[in-house]
Amino acid sequence: MPRDLAAALASEPASVQERWFAQLYALKPLIFGVLGLFWIVTGIISLGPGWEIGMSYVREGGLGETFAALTVIAGALADIVIGLAILWRPASRYGLWAALIISLTYVVIGTTLVPRLWADPLGPMLKIWPVLMLNLVAMAIRDDR
């Protein structure tokens, strides 16, 4: 005997896992899009309007002018490549791992060269932790990409 839709759905309610999957599946493109664009835009800003800020941090850490410029350029280009890799499905795994590694590297370098960044009211060293967590979420749900 056929049942109406409400009765059929009520007889087998969705499990927690099914609800999580449905919600994360809907968010998945946003997670990858936001992460990829975050990294790309960060790199572009570092090469453009944020150039002097980045240079001042590296100079404050005691590095010479040439090495400071090379460091900012290398970091910016790495950020752009990571963002592109995250957005390109075949390379997303490598991009996510690179993002995780370089984020932790930035924490170590920033703490070593300019420890006052931990007390900065805009929180550049604190904001990296939510980014890392979103990165871990993306790594966890990446498999069907």
pLDDT digits (tens, 9 = 90+) for 117-135: 999 998 999 999 999 999 9
Residue 11 tokens, joined: 């007889």
CA atoms of 52 and 87, how far apart (whole Å):
28
pLDDT digits (tens, 9 = 90+) for 48-104: 999 999 999 999 999 899 999 999 999 999 999 999 999 999 999 999 999 999 999
- Helices marked H in the chain — which ranges? 5-11, 16-47, 51-60, 65-87, 92-113, 128-141
What is the pLDDT at residue 2? Answer: 86
> Are the C-beta atoms of 69 and 55 separated by less than 8 Å?
yes
Q: Is the predicted pLDDT of residue 8 greater than 90, yes or no?
A: no
Q: Residue 30 — pLDDT band, cuts 50, 70, 90? A: very high
What is the pLDDT at residue 145? Answer: 46
